[in-house]
Homo-oligomer: A and B are copies of this chain.
Amino acid sequence: MFKRLVSVDEARKILEQNFAPKPVGTEDVLLSDAYNRVLATDVISPLDIPPFNRSTVDGYAVNADDTFGAEEARPVSLRLTGQVRVGESPRLRVKKGTAAEIVTGAPIPEGADSVVMIEYTERKENTILVRQSVALSENVMKAGSDIRKGETILKKPTLLGPYEIGVLSAIGLARVSVYKRPRVAVFSTGAEVVELGKPLKGGKIFDINSHALSAAIAECGGQPISMGIVQDEKDMMTRALRKALFDADVVITSGGVSVGPTDIIPKVLDTLGKPGVIVYGMAIKPGKPTTIALVKDKPVFSLPGHPASALLIFHLFVRPILIRMTGKRPEPPLTVKAMTSTRFFSARGRRTYVTVALNRGKEGNIIASPVPVGLSGAITTMMKAHGFATVHESQQFIEKDQVVEVEIFRPDIYHLLMSRGNNL
């Protein structure tokens, strides 16, 4: 067991050295279920798109040669041989001197090489007057000109949005291979914690963390597995952690950690498999008691009991891991430059994350005001925080009216701020 608080940077390094986050497997899903999933294979087209030479306009399929010299005053006369319908293989053949009626999207019939738009024609019974010449292949989209058979149309790990799903539909793919969503077991610990909907007896509080963390897991693209509340007792904790490690790819506990002798979770974690606990307390504020373990290559994060601290540590340490396990490319953090409304203090020797609310100042710049979420255990204040500023270990404080970089953990706030610009 480690006895020393490690710095945030050391903790990140230790985690990185011990665990390489990657997707836990792939699964085939219906294309209708593939929205927002991550493609797990390169997709090669089994056919040409379009599959045939198709008309891009309504008009007449012709030989371009036949229209040579056609003008408004001197139309070329062609004999109508028939009609090409959309969705059907044309049976007719367009010989020299003839034309076939055609609509947008219909296949170009044999013998024709271009289409003259209906606007430049006049029909007189079975004769078509063409009043403008067309070039070879004009108004024709050639088979395979969009996608060639054998062409790689999408590469892993593409996140599948409406456009990508459109392209996969184009080649007729009914099912698609995507990365499995990492399963993340979550439980809360503590003798005071009670499940939602149960009566609240003296000294008890409702379980907040397993619900808030489950939502945060879903936000990353993970699949939360709620394991409820586990008492901070050795045998129960051992059983709960064993089950969690069996059912899930990542385990998150919260509460029941405070770097000290009554700590059950780190002790149990060390008995379950190698390497066991790799980070036992961090020089960070908030979140000092955070413990990280690896058991048989599955990471276990023991977060503090305070909800705002637990969510912050989740954001800093768990989220980047989960994003990589979903197969998604790492996301750039959402940051804005903001001006400090007051002096931001740090905890001596610990990297301090000052949670802040962002507001628009008089000059159009963004003001960051600390929202105290740490000590008091308050829940409501954390809803008012939009992100955090970082005070580094070597800094005593950040002065009032300084420009700082704020990392935003609420995408909706980010959009709102950016849509109105930032003068800083």
Contact = CB atoms under 8 A, between A and B. Distances in A.
B162 A174 contact: no
A58 B382 CA distance: 23
Q: Which 6 A-B pairs have the closest CB atoms?
A: A89-B202, A174-B197, A87-B191, A166-B212, A87-B192, A332-B419
A2 interface: no
A162 B224 CA distance: 13
B203 A107 contact: yes
A50 B377 contact: yes
A235 to B, nearest CB: 18
A206 B190 CA distance: 56
Interface stretch (A74-82, A293-301, A408-416): A408-416
B332 A415 contact: yes
Contacts of A209: 166
A377 B51 CA distance: 12
Interface in A27-75: 31-32, 34-36, 47, 49-52, 54, 56, 58
A334 interface: yes
Q: Quick one: copies of this chain in the complex?
A: 2
For chain A, give the interface size range.
35 or more
Contact of A170 (B190, B206, B376): B206
Contact of A165 (B87, B88, B160, B211): B211
Contacts of A410: 161, 163
A175 to B, nearest CB: 8
Interface string A7-42: 000000000000000000000000110111000000
Contact of A163 (B170, B200, B212, B305): B212
Interface string A369-404: 000000111111111010000000000000000000
Given A165-B212, A169-B207, A378 B415 contact: no
A215 B160 contact: yes
A378 B146 contact: yes
A162 B212 contact: yes
Given A196-B172, A202-B89, A35 B419 contact: no
Contacts of A375: 56
Contacts of A359: none
Interface in A196-225: 196-198, 200-209, 211-216, 218-219, 224
Contacts of A207: 169
B334 A415 contact: yes
Given A32-B211, A166-B208, A382-B166, A333 B202 contact: no
A353 to B, nearest CB: 15
Interface string A222-248: 001010000000000000000000000
Given A49-B379, A56-B376, A215-B35, A203 B163 contact: no
Nearest to A160: B215
B311 A162 contact: yes
A112 interface: no
Given A49-B379, A52-B202, A215-B161, A311 B166 contact: yes
A258 B35 contact: no
A335 B420 CA distance: 10
A169 B190 contact: no
A215 B165 contact: yes
A331 B191 contact: no
B383 A163 contact: yes
A268 interface: no
B86 A201 contact: no
Contact of A379 (B54, B170, B192, B383): B170
Given A87-B192, A196-B172, A380-B153, A203 B106 contact: yes
Contacts of A154: 383
A282 interface: no
Interface string A332-376: 111100000000000000000000000000000000000000011
A159 interface: yes
Contacts of A88: 191, 202-203
